[in-house]
Amino acid sequence: MMMAAPKLKPAAEAAAGGISIREVSHTYGRAGQGVLALDRINLDIGDCEFHALLGPSGCGKSTLLYLLGGFIPVQQGQIITENGVVTAPGPDRSIVFQNFALFPWKTVKDNVLYGLKKAGFGAEERVKRAQDYIDLVHLTGFENSYPSQLSGGMQQRAAIARTLAIDPRILLMDEPFGALDAQTRRVMQEELRAIWRRTRKTVVFVTHDVQEAVFLADRISIMSARPGRIQHIIDVDLPKDRGEEILEDQRFIQLSEQIWRLVREQAVAATRGAH
């Protein structure tokens, strides 16, 4: 495990296939009267890395994710990807939300096809890619089902298929399993880990769950109580092909406990209004 301040590469180098975040701050509300949500965030996320963001509620994890996606403007600092400085949403980045965000009047297949059409794929390729990614997330046979006919886990599989089908280089995930029951959540974690190993996307994953972060991620950033700052960056020194058996491994248990203590410090600070 490594806990240290970020050692930043030159932005141009770090952005090749990954993400460079440089001195990013964000304030909600009017100038001079707003709430500082993020304070001078600096972070490099490598190509094909699975990076988790952990921290207390209100620390700015989701805000940082939406800045990465270009859904809200960067007020101070820069975010750089292989495609250049982030100023708006782009085809290299796509997001999976907690609430699935599927069109309820469209079938699984039509939800995936919609994303492909918006991304500009041709009709024949849309059909092939849609089926390929429906198969990838194990929804074969449910192509013509509507979201209301699916379990929560299956709806999230459909949302992931729609996102992956357009082939973004960077996958942003905002607590995507937070609304699922514990058993389904564990299954989806294993599925996501397997999908990531096959697709090798760069993933930025927001979660409140320490064990989820340790199970999924290559590295974990622990953010402070508001205003959000990067307090620790931790290498997850566990096998790349880890499955459910890792949950009983002493290395997993010890690392989870150590990270929980760090997160708890920030959660306590948040309840006290500490900065």
Whether residue 104 is predicted with pLDDT greater than 70 in this model: the reply is yes
Question: Which tokens in the block code for residue 49?
Answer: 């890395």
Residues 188-233 have pLDDT tens digits of: 999 999 999 999 899 999 999 999 999 999 999 999 988 999 999 9
The mean pLDDT of 168-181, rounded to a whole number, is: 92
Domain extents for the chain? 1-38+45-92+169-275, 102-167
CA 169/CA 147 separation, integer angstroms: 27
271 pLDDT band (50/70/90 cuts)?
confident
User: What is the CATH superfamily name and number for domain 1-38+45-92+169-275?
Assistant: P-loop containing nucleotide triphosphate hydrolases (3.40.50.300)
pLDDT at residue 269, rounded to an integer: 77
Dist. CA 150–CA 240, nearest whole Å: 31
Q: What is the mean pLDDT of residues 36-59?
A: 94
Q: What are the phi and psi torsion angles at 172 (to 5°)? A: -105, 130
Tokens 């010890």 belong to residue: 254
pLDDT(15) > 60: no
pLDDT of residue 275: 47
Percent of the chain with pLDDT over 70: 92
Instruction: Provide the H-helix boundaries in the chain.
Output: 11-14, 61-69, 108-118, 123-136, 152-165, 182-199, 210-216, 250-271
**179 — pLDDT class (breaks 50, 70, 90):** confident
